[in-house]
Chain A
């Protein structure tokens, strides 16, 4: 037997280690699943860590502007993998139609309302949460309104500047604020897993992965992934998935995972930011950083 660990083996082992630390130390733990490639890899890693099980709920923030294929894909996997699936949304804003572009507000404000606010209240449990009933296949109002204080998120350090400063275990205060200047030390796989009551924690098992690693791993593990990432014959595909009014495809003829891996290896996108198709990042000097301080993932 070959006793060497390749790059993906190492990344996987580290992510699994982090997930297991989180599960041991935190009782009210959830994982965010945006249905995109990163958080789907994260979900897969949870199945690796817990030997086929996912012992905590998965939370999806439904902006209602997600491409409909994403929702179908979410529910299919949730049923198949027996996931404890929960979604929440900002119903008031959606009902009032105060969204971009129709509602005369800018992208950042729309993001704040539909994602940041919706996430904050869904986690806190003070807005309705909907849980998938596996026997009917339908979502029902969840009677459990306990706040979730430990949140596992699939951010990667290589995505953009502010994410490169994250810790694996990153405490936030009650308002979800992130104090970038005063973060806990992490060394020798010892993380901040002790916390005062009321501390909210973000856990980032994918911090060391790159976009290419993600695709190589999807390929190696044969992880089912939404077809929106593939060219459907128009010479375009999504590189990063978001709400349809603010997400734009890139020029590409990659039709499957292997072709995406090959495309990324050529360095075709090496000099173009992965999130360049995400319009909210560009609204001001540090759009994403502003959003992240407020709790955006």
Chain B
């Protein structure tokens, strides 16, 4: 064994001297609790000579003092908590080297309570070793973790049948587990690269082949790791850059308006046309910005970058930048079919609004339909009304604003999501496909609302004749400090003096009694739009010309407002720079337009839209 170490580290040192950088690979070790994951890592570290000097002796000495038998697992359990409980509670990372590359080994906890830690570890990995105890056989988390690996999209998987020493290194035990587990993997559309019989405690088949198991002629663990392939470069795929932010450091004397993000796939060059999803705004790449590098003409998958655009278009963080002249553009939809796992302390339920994050997009979402809930332990499917903690399910989610995404098998980075509940990442999953149907939760809500609404004998026409105008919602929008409120108030005064039944609703962003400080800002904003829409519907139903001013909303917010105010009329006036699609706006005013001029234009609009039907003036 020692000779092997010397040979390994000797060769590495020589290679280190001549090679500048080594390839790196993240490997996660998963499996049921007590099946020997930490022991396997401890062995790998010790047998490849990767431990700090004195570490092994230090731990052995500590065990001796505490009258506990030494275990390789203790090497990893660096934290006091863990040693007292004797289980891994988090994903410790450790580093070791082979002749081929540097490894970062992630030890994922096998205990069910720590599933979120297991996922945290495994999601970073490019390869996985799944450990099964030869004596105990396949257990609940052997299957659950296998399923998680498939959900997390890890392609390199090797199953290590550990503790072969406890079954006298018998081949038939290994073969039986191999057969059973292969069958299971097949059911979940997964395939292992290899099955290796090992004894981590005794160091068998770890860095070299075991003499105890002469019947086995495959790879040792170390050989297997070295045979894993890195995933193919993503720069040839369709271009996707989720927008992280838009920077303008004007105060520092920098006039660049830089759209930043990480390129998840594909390549883009200066001069090429881009489309942002879901807004579908277009522009061209003017420059690629970076600090302390030579000027760049293109940027590609993996890079955190920044671009300036040729035209000034307004996009917000979360949008997906794609290349116009390229096939396979992302989907824009509100309903998605997914496979997800749930980690939240509270179950995932219908009729509650959560937040969905796909790449850098953040949108409100509801659980629309549960297709089936998988029992991870046995992988049987059942129908359920909600999804409990640690369950895996196929379900349909409905976002309350359209989102841009890809199917996971197309581009994984933009085909995955997490669900946030009460500030915590409570679930995650993969997008199988968009779901096209006409049923939206907003539509259902309005159908229900209209069905239950008890109306009097006084018709909208009666009211219009009485008040000498039709009802309408006038939304005055635009950026902060553009004079929206001033114009809104002047309009109210003008209409009032004309004898119209009108009201200016001067609320900025808080309608309900619940303190919005205690809620997610994405959800608070959506809730505000919803409440404003409902309130508008009541007041316009009563025959009012309702005027409100609102800032920081987008196309889809306007759609929601219009939808909720149905069947009554909604007119949108934008003040200042127009950041909306042109068809969403009924009238554009310049920034800080003089009140009287603005009011006249809006009154004109009202006449044209037959709100102030000339007939009623008589």
Contact = CB atoms under 8 A, between A and B. Distances in A.
Contacts of B254: 51-53
Contact of A221 (B292, B357, B420): B292
Given A55-B249, A185-B119, A221-B292, A17 B304 contact: yes
A23 B317 CA distance: 12
B289 interface: yes
5 contacts: A4-B233, A50-B247, A53-B252, A187-B418, A188-B123
B425 A266 contact: no
B364 to A, nearest CB: 13
Nearest to B296: A1
A216 interface: yes
B52 A271 contact: yes
Interface stretch (B73-81, B206-214, B366-374, B492-500): B73-81
B459 interface: no
B255 to A, nearest CB: 12
Contacts of B291: 47-48, 51-52
A215 to B, nearest CB: 12
Contacts of A192: 423-425
7 closest Cβ pairs, A-B complex? A161-B78, A271-B53, A187-B123, A16-B304, A185-B116, A194-B423, A13-B304
Contacts of A266: 13, 16-17
Nearest to A13: B304
A265 B418 contact: no
A153 B297 CA distance: 33
Interface stretch (A56-64, A176-184, A231-239): A176-184
Interface residues of B, number: 75
Contacts of A52: 254, 291
B24 interface: yes
Contact of A185 (B78, B117, B355): B117
A51 B256 contact: yes
Nearest to B246: A24
B319 interface: no
B95 A210 contact: yes
Interface stretch (A72-80, A87-95, A162-170): A162-170
Interface string B235-247: 1000000001101
A113 to B, nearest CB: 23
A196 interface: yes
Count chain A CB atoms within 10 A of each CB in B119, B289, B424, B517 and give the residue with the most.
B424
B152 interface: yes
A135 interface: no
A273 interface: yes
B322 to A, nearest CB: 18
A3 B233 contact: yes
B12 to A, nearest CB: 8
Given A181-B81, A265-B17, A289-B80, A194 B120 contact: no
Contact of A181 (B13, B78, B89, B252): B89
Given A48-B291, A188-B418, A190-B418, A10 B93 contact: no
Contacts of B357: 190
B471 to A, nearest CB: 39
A38 interface: no
B345 to A, nearest CB: 10
B270 to A, nearest CB: 12
A92 B120 CA distance: 42
Contacts of B303: 5, 9, 13
Given A50-B247, A194-B520, A183 B90 contact: yes
Contacts of A196: 423, 518
B249 A24 contact: no
Given A48-B292, A51-B289, A164-B92, A12 B247 contact: no
Interface string B277-298: 0000000000001111000011
A6 interface: yes
A285 B423 contact: no
B9 interface: yes
A259 interface: no
A208 interface: yes
Contact of A190 (B51, B249, B425): B425
A272 interface: yes
Contacts of A183: 90, 117, 120
Interface residues of A, number: 65
Interface in B97-148: 104, 116-117, 119-120, 123-124
A197 B518 contact: yes
A157 interface: yes
A67 interface: no
Given A216-B21, A267-B16, A17 B79 contact: no
A243 interface: no
Interface in B33-59: 51-54
Contact of B93 (A8, A12, A24, A164): A164
Contacts of B95: 158, 210
Contacts of B22: 7
B267 interface: yes
B306 interface: yes
A160 interface: yes
B348 interface: no
B78 A160 contact: yes
B78 A164 contact: yes
A286 interface: yes
A40 to B, nearest CB: 14
B507 to A, nearest CB: 22
B468 interface: no
B113 to A, nearest CB: 9
Given A4-B233, A49-B260, 4 more contacts: A9-B303, A13-B262, A158-B95, A194-B424
B91 interface: yes
Contact of B119 (A49, A187, A221): A187
B244 A20 contact: yes
Contacts of B359: 189
A186 B79 CA distance: 20
B81 A47 contact: no
Interface in A210-255: 210, 216, 221
Contacts of B317: 24
A210 to B, nearest CB: 7
A208 B105 CA distance: 12
A195 interface: yes
A13 B302 contact: yes
A82 interface: yes
A267 B13 contact: yes
A53 B249 contact: yes
Interface in A132-182: 157-158, 160-162, 164-165, 167, 180-181
B99 to A, nearest CB: 14
A180 B78 CA distance: 12
Contact of A48 (B252, B290, B300): B290
A188 B124 CA distance: 7
A270 B317 CA distance: 43
B343 A185 contact: yes
A167 B81 CA distance: 17
A4 B343 CA distance: 36
B249 A50 contact: yes
Given A47-B292, A186-B120, A164 B94 contact: yes
A266 B91 CA distance: 29
A186 B94 CA distance: 18
Contacts of A221: 292
Most chain-B Cβ atoms within 10 A of its Cβ — which of A14, A48, A157, A270? Answer: A270
Nearest to A210: B95
Contacts of B24: 7, 10
Contacts of B119: 185, 187
A187 B119 CA distance: 7
